[in-house]
Amino acid sequence: MIGCDLGSNTLRIVEIACESKTRVKAFERIVRTAKDLHVTGRISEISKQNILNALKEASKIFDFKQEKCFCVTTEAMRVASNAKEILDEIEACFGLCFEIISGEREAYLTSLAIENALKREGFEHQTYALFDLGGGSTELTFCRSGIKQSQSFPFGIINTAERYTQEREAHVARIVESISPFVQTQPDISSTFLQLVTTAGTPTTVAAFLEGLDYAHYDANKVNGKILHVNDFEEAYQRLSCMNESDAERFTGTNRKDLVVVGILIVKAMMRKLGFEKCIVVDDGLREGVVLEQCYNLARS
């Protein structure tokens, strides 16, 4: 079974064997869906072409015609005025029907993937705090003994990096304050929820970078379950900030240095706000959750 996640920055696709809940194959490409979206209100022609090119490449890896495919898309398509025409073109070209899902549903599906990954990696999987830092939105989930509360916030690495080129730390601190009303509904977060989990490109890139892995040799197995201290993010921030574009590209991927650096600022601010010094990094995310929901439904039927 195949799951596709067209995010504000990245297209991620996975095929999972339902019986074992394990990956058969995975695919990921930076497509920058949300580039300039906050200015134009539209998905750009360049971004559309990036998406189509990535799907064409993926169609050589996955059998979209024969396998069951479940496809979702998130914040960029929620707000873009031309979302329908882009998604109609994708369906006409590849037969893939992408559903625009809400931030809350995005958080729920991601939590399914996180719980499966935590269990697989030997962590407690029913009580945790989780944030998923995307390109255009951030989802925050509190789960205690399997009972979840989630909220989506309209900030991510692309819209933050594009809007704020000066005094970024101050802007990030102000943006992250927007989670305060939701956070205040949860007493003693760090002691109640025991562990902080984070997923998406920034934490996984930092975890790989600190492992000495470059972008071309990224290995999810070495990233999943890695525990990072807030000081590790500060170290990565300092090292990457000092690199020139070509040197940084080796570790962050093409044209991603600025996004990763801004993402690190957001991660550090989120950790401080939630009261955690450490977090568990998980590569699994929305694409896995989309498939796992279908696997669970199949098992119950």
Residue 52 has a pLDDT of 97
In whole angstroms, give the CA distance from residue 173 to residue 268: 10
Residue percentage of the chain with pLDDT more than 90: 69
Is 52 part of any domain?
yes
Residue 244 has a pLDDT of 84
Residue 250 has a pLDDT of 82
Domain boundary among 51, 72, 103: 103
Residue 166 has a pLDDT of 87
Residue 279 has a pLDDT of 96
Report the CATH number at residue 67.
3.30.420.40
141 and 37, same domain (yes or no) = no
13 and 113, same domain (yes or no) = no
Is 297 part of any domain?
no
Residue percentage of the chain with pLDDT more than 70: 99
pLDDT in tens, 95-145: 999 999 998 999 999 999 999 999 999 999 999 999 999 888 999 999 999
In whole angstroms, give the CA distance from residue 12 to residue 31: 10
Is 298 part of any domain?
no
Residue 47 has a pLDDT of 95
Residue 78 has a pLDDT of 93
220 and 80, same domain (yes or no) = no
Report which of residues 51 and 254 the model is more confident about: 51
122 and 233, same domain (yes or no) = yes
pLDDT above 80: residue 26: yes
Is 261 part of any domain?
yes
pLDDT in tens, 183-204: 999 888 988 888 999 998 899 9
Domain boundary among 54, 86, 103: 103
What's the whole-number mean pLDDT along residues 292-299? 90
142 and 259, same domain (yes or no) = yes
31 and 123, same domain (yes or no) = no
pLDDT above 80: residue 269: yes
128 and 87, same domain (yes or no) = no
Residue 76 has a pLDDT of 92
Is 116 part of any domain?
yes
Is 159 part of any domain?
yes
Mean pLDDT, rounded, of the chain: 92
* Domain tally, the chain: 2
pLDDT above 90: residue 49: yes
Domain boundary among 68, 103, 138: 103
pLDDT above 80: residue 254: no
What's the whole-number mean pLDDT along residues 81-97? 96
Residue 188 has a pLDDT of 86
Is 77 part of any domain?
yes
42 and 167, same domain (yes or no) = no
pLDDT in tens, 170-183: 999 999 999 999 99
pLDDT above 80: residue 36: yes
Confidence of residue 253 (pLDDT cuts 50, 70, 90): confident
Report the CATH number at residue 249.
3.30.420.150
The structure tokens listed for 184 are: 């205040």
The structure tokens listed for 226 are: 């890695």
In whole angstroms, give the CA distance from residue 183 to residue 57: 41
Is 299 part of any domain?
no
Residue 53 has a pLDDT of 96
pLDDT above 90: residue 292: yes
Domain that holds residue 16: 2-103
